[in-house]
Amino acid sequence: MRIINKNFSLFSRNYILIILAVLVTWYGLFLASTFYLQVYSIGILVLLIPCLEIRSHQVVMQLFFIFFICMMISSISVFDRLHYKLLLVSQPFWIALKYGIALALGLCSLAYFLCYKNKNLIKLCCIQFPIMIITCTWYIRMILILNNCQHIPNAKSVHIPAVVIQKCPACCDIHELWFSFHLEGKDHHVSMDVNPRLHERSKEGDTLILQVHPGTYGWPWYHKDIKRRYK
């Protein structure tokens, strides 16, 4: 009878956490009164993951997949509401990974002492820790982008010479140009939806000046409606 009750309690805990994840996601998408409440709701999902009962690798991956889908839906909603975008989306990754590993280690250690003292520590490290590194890195990267893309009073704009390497055909209201530019000692390629007039008169090989904001952490960013701001 004890074994049945124990298995039932473990079964119940995982599914209670899944229900909580769905409710938190629903709150963030439709009920959050402010933008930052939606961001915090994603953080709650990250904190719930270490509480999942580890019974087998397959079960944990299935449950984590459900959590990750909830996080992705919420994150897409957050980024869709943003009015700005990083010029180089890869810039925050390594910093986010460094802090993500530290945060994942702290959360996994806390979960071990609270919930998994009788569990195999190696099993936890092989299954739970990599999962938490992924989720923590994802969340911290999002926080870094939100903090970086803030208006800095009296800050000078960054002017980056860029060469048009490809002019995409206009489609609906999208007028996309691919640029090549040099930043931080490396060559980069980015696409940008520009003003229709600029798209019409630009041709491959032209050199344009990208005027972007410096960013709190030094990562250049621009407004998504740049096509309406610069002609």
Q: What does the DSSP assignment read for 39-56?
A: HHHHHHHHHHGGGS--S-
What pLDDT, in 10s, does the model give residues 57-90? 777 778 888 888 999 899 888 888 888 889 888 8
Give the sign of the dihedral formed by CA 213, CA 215, CA 218, CA 219.
negative
Model confidence pLDDT, tens digit, residues 115-150: 766 666 676 677 788 889 999 999 999 999 999 988
Interval 190-231: pLDDT, tens: 998 888 888 889 999 999 988 899 999 999 998 877 655 544
What are the structural domain ranges in the chain?
Answer: 2-148, 158-229
Tokens 């002019």 sit at which residue? 167
Do 183 and 202 meet the contact criterion of CB atoms below 8 Å apart? no
Contacts of 213 (CB under 8 A, 6+ apart): 84, 149, 151, 152, 155, 157, 158, 220, 221, 222
Q: Are strands 207-212 and 176-183 parallel, antiparallel or unpaired?
A: unpaired
Class of domain 158-229: mainly beta
